[in-house]
Amino acid sequence: MRSRLAIGSLALALGAAAGCSSDTEDPIPRTTQPTDLPSQPTPSQTEDGGGNGGGNAAPKAGGTIADLLEVPWGVGFLPDGDAVVTERISGRVLRVTADGTLTRLGALSGAVPEGEAGLLGVAVSPDFDSDRTLYFYLTTDSDNRVVSAELDGDALGEPTLVLDGIPRGFIHDGGRLAFGPDGYLYVTTGETGNPDLAQDPASLAGKILRITADGEPAPGNPDPGSPVWSLGHRNVQGLAWDDEGRLWASEFGDSSWDELNLIEKGGNYGWPRFEGRSGGEDFVDPQLVWPVEEASPSGLAWADGHLWMAGLRGQRLWRIDVSASGKASNPTAFFTEDYGRLRTVAAAPDGTIWVTTSNRDGRGEPTPTDDRIIVIQP
């Protein structure tokens, strides 16, 4: 188990801006506005398969798998094809089958659902068949943390601390968990509405972390004593690896540009010095950006040879081409305003995509059946 860790040799230039989330109800005024932003690589606005997807057929909605959920946030698939789903506000952990059967596995009573916080991401151990272990990201009354728990049949065991001391906030708590192809656990954290933490070498906030299953810094990290894999993030909400093993992340911008980033070991992604492209050698520029009203990107998945990115404020699902050399292009929007706010995208073992709505989070307009899990045929 690990407590809050110093980040050592990853110190880079600090910014001097305050920020607000494009998906935050009560924005925090920005104290400084960058004046040196270059033109941004904005995506095409092609909607609903209108020819911008490289000749690919449009995805089809396959119906609702589950409804009447309370802000489903994390989705992780078990080896048998069932999904483990977390609810941010209730703290419940559910098993959901492909035919829509719901089973309550338990609840994490320590989760504190304030603002954007609560019970967030879930990841299934790569060795689940033998260790039966699930990993969760949750906000407590003192911090954000990662815990693990064994699943015994349909009963979730007592949680065990994996990593604590991640700063918490009313907004920008990160929360996505995913095991990479290397077998290590990747954790996204937000800067809690305090932008300077993203560049702070002594803080775990505003980072992507890479740890072992026991919470130790993973071998090969930029600083061997630190869990930090990359820094300078505002609020990463989605992680996905493509077929070449490249890591992609979707990230909330402030008032102008949301981002899709290709994550590099030790990379600095610029916040709060820059929103969108920096054009500077010390920072990694996003591959694509969106005006905040079209995205507020959350979940990200790799399926059918594309990245799929959910939009909260944008209320749409983006399909993004990725070239063999790792260049993202041709974003195409689907299902715009059909289902409201879209939170999580997960690639199911059967080749479909599961998308969760987030209309009961206080910022949407829920229907009588929200929140839902929608199945998409890519």
**146-166 pLDDT, tens digit each:** 999 999 999 999 999 999 999
Report whether pLDDT(252) > 60: yes
What confidence category does residue 82 fall into, taking pLDDT thresholds of 50, 70 and 90? Answer: very high
Q: How far apart are the C-alpha atoms of 187 and 179, rounded to whole Å?
A: 9
- Predicted confidence at residue 55, as pLDDT, reads 53
Report whether pLDDT(12) > 60: no
Virtual CA dihedral for 337, 332, 238, 130, nearest 10 degrees? Answer: 100
Burial of 56 (0-12, 13-18, 19+ CB in 10 A): middle
66, 96 Cβ separation under 8 angstroms: yes
For residue range 295-350, what is the model confidence (pLDDT) as tens digits? Answer: 899 999 999 999 999 999 999 999 999 999 999 999 999 999 999 999 999 999 99
What confidence category does residue 42 fall into, taking pLDDT thresholds of 50, 70 and 90? Answer: very low
290, 276 Cβ separation under 8 angstroms: no
- Predicted confidence at residue 48, as pLDDT, reads 55
Contacts 24+ apart (CB under 8 A), 12-16: 12/199, 12/201, 12/231, 12/232, 12/268, 12/282, 13/199, 13/273, 13/282, 14/196, 14/199, 14/200, 15/195, 15/196, 15/198, 15/199, 15/271, 15/272, 15/273, 16/196, 16/272
Average pLDDT, the chain: 88
Position with higher pLDDT, 283 vs 30: 283
For residue range 188-213, what is the model confidence (pLDDT) as tens digits? Answer: 999 999 999 999 988 999 999 999 99
154, 178 Cβ separation under 8 angstroms: no
172 tagged catalytic: yes
Q: Which 8-state DSSP code applies to residue 307?
A: E
121, 72 Cβ separation under 8 angstroms: no
- Predicted confidence at residue 177, as pLDDT, reads 98
What is the arithmetic mean of pLDDT over 119-137? 98
Alpha-helix runs per DSSP H in 39-165: 128-131
Q: How far apart are the C-alpha atoms of 333 and 190, rounded to whole Å?
A: 26
- Predicted confidence at residue 280, as pLDDT, reads 82
Report whether pLDDT(47) > 70: no
For residue range 71-81, what is the model confidence (pLDDT) as tens digits? Answer: 999 999 999 99
Position with higher pLDDT, 34 vs 214: 214
Catalytic residue among 172, 273, 341, 343: 172
16-20, 119-123, 303-307, 362-366: which range is least confident on average?
16-20
Q: How far apart are the C-alpha atoms of 97 and 288, rounded to whole Å?
A: 34
Q: How far apart are the C-alpha atoms of 233 and 204, rounded to whole Å?
A: 11
Is the entire prediction scored with pTM above 0.85? yes
Alpha-carbon separation of residue 141 from 23, 108, 119, 172 (angstroms): 22, 13, 12, 15
Position with higher pLDDT, 368 vs 201: 368
Share of the chain above pLDDT 90, in %: 82
Measuring CA to CA, which residue among 326, 339, 347, 336 is closest to residue 365? 339
Establish how many alpha carbons lie within 13 A of residue 220's alpha carbon, considering only the half-sphere containing its beta carbon: 7
* Domain range summary for the chain, segments of one domain joined by +: 43-377
What is the arithmetic mean of pLDDT over 209-218? 98
Topology of the domain covering 43-377: Neuraminidase (2.120.10)
Report whether pLDDT(357) > 70: yes
Neighbours of 150 (CB within 10 A): 16
- Predicted confidence at residue 295, as pLDDT, reads 86
291, 22 Cβ separation under 8 angstroms: no
Q: How far apart are the C-alpha atoms of 332 and 355, rounded to whole Å?
A: 16
Look at the chain and count its residues. 378
